[in-house]
Amino acid sequence: MKLDVLKLDASSAGNIDLAEEIFGLEVRRDILHRMVTWQLAKRRAGTHKVKEKSEISATTKKFVRQKGSGGARHGSRKAVQFRGGGVAHGPRVRDHSHDLTKKFRKLALKTALSAKAKDGKLVVLDSADFSESKTKALAVAFDKLGWKSALIIDGASVNEGFARAARNIPQIDVLPQVGANVYDILRRDTLVLTKGAVEALEARLK
Domain ranges (residues) in the chain? 2-44+97-205, 50-90
Which residues neighbour 126 within 8 Å (Cβ) at sequence distance 6 or greater?
5, 6, 7, 8, 13, 194, 195
- pLDDT tens digit sequence for 55-105: 999 887 888 888 998 988 888 889 999 999 999 999 999 999 999 999 999
Q: How confident is the model at residue 133, as a pLDDT?
A: 80
For residue 200, CA distances in Å to 78, 121, 144 come to: 60, 20, 27
Q: End-to-end CA distance of the chain: give it in Å, rounded.
A: 16
Residue 31 identity (one-letter amino acid): I
Give me the helix-helix angle, 195-205 and 102-118, nearest 10°: 140
- pLDDT tens digit sequence for 116-172: 999 999 999 998 888 778 899 999 999 999 999 999 999 888 988 899 999 999 999
Buried-exposed string 163-176: b where 16+ CB fall within 10 A, e elsewhere: bbbbeebeebbbbb
Residues 76 and 11 sit within 8 Å (Cβ to Cβ):
no
Indicate the length of the chain as a whole number: 206
Q: Pick the residue with more confidence: 1 or 19?
A: 19
What is the pTM (predicted TM-score) of this model? 0.84
CATH 1.10.10.10, applies to 2-44+97-205 = no
Q: Predicted confidence band at 206 (pLDDT cuts at 50, 70, 90)? A: confident
